[in-house]
């Protein structure tokens, strides 16, 4: 599958490596193709480099790994995304009174805002619940890490489930896109434990069943 990654910070770069390892073709959607970081990532992953809109237009799946504060402008500049599967792995982070949190509560979500910006796209909320390191490679964990996903589109969810499995995750269906109101705070649980409670970044949630 051809996957466009828009935003090549820690998450986007990790997903580029993970998807290439899983056998997919990756195209990096960037504004500055000559940047040293872009060149290094492209070389290490054998990824193509294109403009954000060009990458999005050429791909089967688009991954949005943008800082939330820059997301709306960047997403609206991607052009016509009608019928495109869009993976939203962004958490709507904001500082409030000096404390890192979400900029919205349980009556809406970043994913639903995204759906208003690109109403014709097939949005799947996922890959927001663990750190970048384990998106790139989680093969050494003792249990398969769980990754929830939410979407209104069953076919898009099935396609993304296969991608998540290829990245080493156990994909679990959380329901329609409104369930992103649960998944974004759930992502904050990982952030809280990783950054503020001493767990570090090399861990993930797992769904362990009684045998």
Q: What is the pLDDT of residues 160-207, one digit of tens each?
A: 999 999 999 999 999 999 999 999 999 989 999 998 999 999 999 999
Question: Does the structure show a pLDDT above 80 at 117?
Answer: yes
pLDDT of residue 164: 98
pLDDT of residue 33: 84
Pull the structure tokens for residue 167: 């990245």
Question: Does the structure show a pLDDT above 80 at 128?
Answer: yes
Question: Does the structure show a pLDDT above 90 at 97?
Answer: no
pLDDT of residue 93: 72
φ, ψ (nearest 5 deg) of residue 192: -60, -45
pLDDT classification of 149: cutoffs 50, 70, 90: very high
Pick left, alpha or beta for residue 97 (phi over 0 → left; psi -120 to 50 → alpha; otherwise beta): left
Which residue did the predictor score with more confidence, 9 or 93? 9
Contact 84, 90 (CB under 8 A): no
Element (H, E) at 122: strand 122-125
pLDDT classification of 34: cutoffs 50, 70, 90: confident
Contact 207, 146 (CB under 8 A): yes
pLDDT of residue 101: 73
- Topology of the domain covering 2-196: Rossmann fold (3.40.50)
CA 122 to CA 83: how far, in whole Å?
A: 6
Q: Where are the domains of the chain?
A: 2-196
Element (H, E) at 22: none
Question: Does the structure show a pLDDT above 90 at 106?
Answer: no
Q: Give percent above pLDDT 90 in the chain.
A: 87
């Amino acid at each position: 599958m051809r996957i466009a990654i828009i935003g090549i910070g820690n998450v986007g770069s990790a997903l580029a490596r993970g998807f290439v390892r899983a056998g997919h073709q990756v195209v990096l959607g960037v504004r500055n193709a000559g940047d040293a970081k872009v060149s290094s990532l492209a070389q290490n992953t054998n990824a193509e480099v294109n403009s954000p809109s060009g990458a999005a237009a050429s791909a089967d799946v688009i991954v949005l790994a943008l800082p939330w504060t820059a997301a709306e402008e960047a997403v609206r500049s991607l052009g016509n995304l009608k019928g495109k599967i869009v993976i939203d792995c962004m958490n709507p982070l904001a500082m409030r009174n000096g404390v890192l949190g979400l900029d919205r509560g349980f009556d809406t979500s970043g994913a639903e805002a995204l759906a208003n910006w690109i109403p014709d796209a097939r949005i799947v909320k996922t890959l927001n619940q663990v750190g970048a390191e384990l998106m790139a490679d989680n093969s050494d964990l003792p249990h398969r890490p769980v990754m929830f996903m939410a979407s209104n589109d069953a076919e898009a969810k099935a396609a993304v489930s296969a991608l998540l499995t290829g990245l080493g995750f156990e994909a679990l269906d959380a329901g329609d896109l409104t369930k992103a109101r649960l998944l974004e705070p759930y992502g904050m649980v990982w952030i809280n434990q990783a950054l503020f409670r001493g767990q570090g970044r090399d861990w993930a949630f797992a769904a362990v069943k009684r045998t």
